[in-house]
Amino acid sequence: MQTYKNKMQQANQILQQQGPTWAAMNPEYVTRMQLQNRFNTGLDIAKYTAKIMREDMASYDKDPANYTQSLGCWHGFIGQQKMISIKKHFGTTRSRYLYLSGWMVAAMRSEFGPLPDQSMHEKTSVPSLIEELYTFLKQADARELQHLFKEMDDAREIGDQVREQAAQQKVDEFETHVVPIIADIDAGFGNEEATYLLAKKMIEAGACCIQLENQVSDAKQCGHQDGKVTVPHEDFLAKINAVRYAFLELGVDDGIIVARTDSLGAGLTQKIPVSQTEGDLAEQYNSFIDGEEVTSLEDMKSGDMAIKQGEQLIKPTRLPNGLVRFKPNTGEDRVVLDCITSLQHGADLLWIETEKPHIGQIASIVNRIRDVVPNAKLVYNNSPSFNWTLNFRQQIFDAWLAEGKDVSAYQREKLMSQDYDETDLSTEADEQIRRFQKDAAAQAGIFHHLITLPTYHTAALSTDNLAKDYFGKQGMLGYVLEVQRKEIRQGLACVKHQDMSGSNMGDDHKEYFSGAHALKASGKDNTMNQFAG
C-alpha cells in the first residue's frame, strides 16, 4: 500500500525533474488531488469491483452468513448518500453494493418521461446512470478526504504532530465509497450484437456485474407483470456469450454475469427452436410446449403446424398473435432447466423471479439446481411488488392452521388490517420478515439480497409527508422538525449542502491554483458555519 508520504515523494521527484518552470506546483497538493481521484476510468472501477465481488462470492461459499446486499438507486446523489450512510453506521462498505434497476431507469430516467418496464427507454440511459453513480461515489471519496486533509492542516498549524499523524493514518487507511454495481441490461435491447454493444458501454462506465434476463427483447415485461414471453435457451446463451466477450475484450477477465429467468411467471414463447440432436436443449425446451395431439391430417387446418414431442405429434397451442403457450404448471421445471443451462454455459449467478417471498419455495427450486451445480447462488429481488406484510401474515396463518393452532381470531384475506398489528401473528410475521435475508441466505442459496425500487418509494413517502406538513398547519416547522433537525442530530453530511456539493473542495483547488489571490466561498459569512461540527 502506498502511503501519503510515499506518494508525496513521487510527486516531488516528478516536479523536480521538470525544473523551475513547474516551481509553482506543490507536491502535497498534487498528492491530495491524486488521492481524491483514485479511479481514472470506468474500466479501473470495473476491474476493482469485480475482484471484490468475486471475493465475496467465495466468502459466501464458505459460509452463507456472508451474504451481500444492495438497494436500487435511480440517481447518483441517492447512491452516494446511501454509501455515505453505510460507511457512517457500519464503518465499512464491504458486502454492500448498488443495484441499477431497469424499472427505475424506465420510470425515472428516460427522455420520454415515465415509462413502463418494457425496454422502451433509451439504452444509452443505462450506462449513463452507471457513470453518474460512480461520479457521485468518487465525489464522496474526494469530500471525505478533503476533511481529513483539513484535519492534517489544522493540526500542523498548531504544531500537534500526534493529531497530524492520526489524520494522515486515516488517509492511508481510507476505504473508498466505490462498490460493485449490479446493472440491469433487461433482455439485451435487441439481438446478441446489440447486447454486446450495450454491455461494452456499461462496462466502460464501471459495471463489473451485468444482469440479463431470458425474455424476448421486443416483448419484454416487468418480472412482476403478466404477459412474459421467454426465448429458447440457444438465444439466451448467445447473449450470455456476448456479455462475456465484452468483459474479456475490455480486460475485465473476472466480470460477473447474472442470468435471470422469468420462466416461473412466463407462459409463452415466441418461437419453437429447431432440434439438431435427440435430447438437445431445443428438444428439452419444446417438451414444455402445450398442444393438441394430432392423429390424422384431418386434425389440421390451413396455417396449422405440428411438432413431434416424444412419441406424439402435437399441434402447438398458439395465440392469435402467433405466440406459443407452454403447458400449465411447468414453470418450476423450466426455471430449473434455465438455471442449470445458464450456469453450465458461462453465467456466474442466478436470478429467479418469484411471485412471492417464500423461503420454502425458493429453496425447493435451488436444491434441484444444486443437485447438478452444487455451488449455484442466487441474486434475489426483495421486491416492493410483494405485499410483505400480507404475504408473511398469511404464511404464519397457514403454518399455524397446519399445526392445528386456533386461528379463529383472524380472517386470512384481511390480515393486512391494522387491527392485527399488535397480535401474536403479526409479531411472528414481522420477525420472519426481519430474518428473511439471513434465513434465505442459509436455506435457499441467496448470495445477494437487493430491493429493486426502495429509493423510488422513499422519495415518494418523504415528499408526501413534507408536503402534508409544510403546506398545512405546521408550515416551516414541518421542514425543521422532520428534516433539518433530524439531519443535524443524525449527523447527515448533506445538512451542509454546500460542502456536500463540493464548495470546500473548490476553495482548496482555488488556493492550489491561485494562492493568496483565491476568492473563496467558505469565509466567516458563509451560513453553513451555523452547522458546526
Answer for the pair 221, 228: CB distance below 8 angstroms, yes or no. yes
CA distances to 49, 102, 165, 477 from 452, in Å: 20, 9, 42, 33
CA angle 253, 258, 260 (to 5 degrees): 155
Closest CA to 99 of 177, 207, 196, 197: 207
Q: Which amino acid is at 90?
A: F
DSSP sequence for 45-113: HHHHHHHHHHHHHHHHHH-TT--EEEEE-SSHHHHHHHHHHHHHHHS--TTEEEEE-HHHHHHHS-TT-
Task: Give pLDDT, residue 224.
Answer: 45
Closest CA to 228 of 258, 257, 198, 261: 261
pLDDT-flagged residues of the chain (< 50): 222-226
Task: Give pLDDT, residue 225.
Answer: 44
DSSP run (H or E) holding 506? helix 503-514
Which residues sit opposite 215 in a β-bridge?
A: 230
**CB hemisphere CA count around 425 (13 angstroms):** 29
Task: Give pLDDT, residue 71.
Answer: 96
208 catalytic, yes or no? Answer: no
Task: Give pLDDT, residue 310.
Answer: 86
Task: Give pLDDT, residue 228.
Answer: 80
Q: Please, what's the b/e burial string for 447-461 (b: 16 or more CB within 10 A of its CB; e: otherwise)?
A: bbbbbbbbbbeeeee
Task: Give pLDDT, residue 529.
Answer: 60
Answer for the pair 364, 335: CB distance below 8 angstroms, yes or no. no
Helix or strand or coil: residue 318? strand
Task: Give pLDDT, residue 415.
Answer: 98
Dist CA 486 CA 273 (whole Å)? 59
Q: Which of 73, 208, 209, 222 is catalytic?
A: 222
Residue 65: exposure state from Cβ atoms within 10 A (0-12, 13-18, ≥19)? exposed
The angle that helices 27-35 and 503-514 make with each other, rounded to 10 degrees, is 150
CA distances to 119, 194, 197, 274, 444 from 190, in Å: 10, 5, 10, 21, 33
Question: Would you list which residues are annotated within the binding site for Mg(2+)?
Answer: 184
Answer for the pair 179, 83: CB distance below 8 angstroms, yes or no. yes
Question: Would you list which residues are annotated within the binding site?
Answer: 184
CB atoms within 10 A of CB 262: 25
CA 317, distance to chain mean position in Å, is 37
pTM, entire model: 0.93
**CB hemisphere CA count around 222 (13 angstroms):** 19
Radius of gyration of the chain (CA): 28
Tell me which residue has cell 425496454: 119
Strand ranges, E, within 252-377: 256-261, 268-269, 291-293, 307-309, 312-316, 324-325, 349-352
Three-state SS sequence of 147-194 = HHHHHHHHHHHCCCHHHHHHHHHHHHCCCCCCCCEEEECCCCCCCHHH
Helix or strand or coil: residue 213? strand
Which residues, 6+ apart, have CB-to-CB distance to 200 below 8 Å?
246, 249, 250
Max CA pair span of the chain = 100
Q: Which amino acid is at 300?
A: M
